[in-house]
Amino acid sequence: MTEFRVRPIGRVSSELASRADAPRQGDEGAPDAALLIDPEASAGLAGLAVGDELIVLTWLHEADRAALSVHPRGDRDRPAQGVFTTRSPDRPNPVGLHRVRVLAIDGASVRVSGLEAIDGTPIIDLKPVLGAIDER
């Protein structure tokens, strides 16, 4: 099947330096971080406001794209599961899905709450949280 090219729109700036440091989900003690949006894409931020909830899609560039099954939470005592039933970063297309809140906006730098992506992770999209779709 056809392949598609993902062109990052920016990258994460975070105190998390490696996968070993990163919590598994944003609500497991992840630090605040900055989304540094590239100048070519920053017009896409128009209308964004402090307090907004966002879904950040990242490309988990250190993932193992050959993985189709994983042991949940890396625990080899638990039976392996298909990757599509887990949130493991290791999967054919390692898109990370992160829900955050906008804390501050300074030009094309967006400060957000609790993001478990490591420093330098490419950002590929930002979407508003829609209550009716994402919350119920």
Q: Which parts of this chain interact with a second copy (CB under 8 A)?
A: 1-9, 11, 25-27, 38, 41, 43-48, 52, 54-55, 57, 59, 61, 68-69, 80-87, 91-93, 95, 97, 99, 122, 124-128, 130, 132-136
Give the shortest CB-71-to-a second copy separation in angstroms: 12
Sequence letter at residue 73: R
The secondary structure element, H or E, covering residue 13 is: strand 10-13
Nearer to a second copy, 19 or 81 (CB): 81
Give the shortest CB-38-to-a second copy separation in angstroms: 7
Nearer to a second copy, 2 or 18 (CB): 2
Q: Residue for token digits 């949280």?
A: 129
DSSP bridge partners of 125: 57
Give the shortest CB-77-to-a second copy separation in angstroms: 16
Distance CA 39, CA 11 (A): 12
Distance CA 14, CA 121 (A): 9
Give the shortest CB-17-to-a second copy separation in angstroms: 19
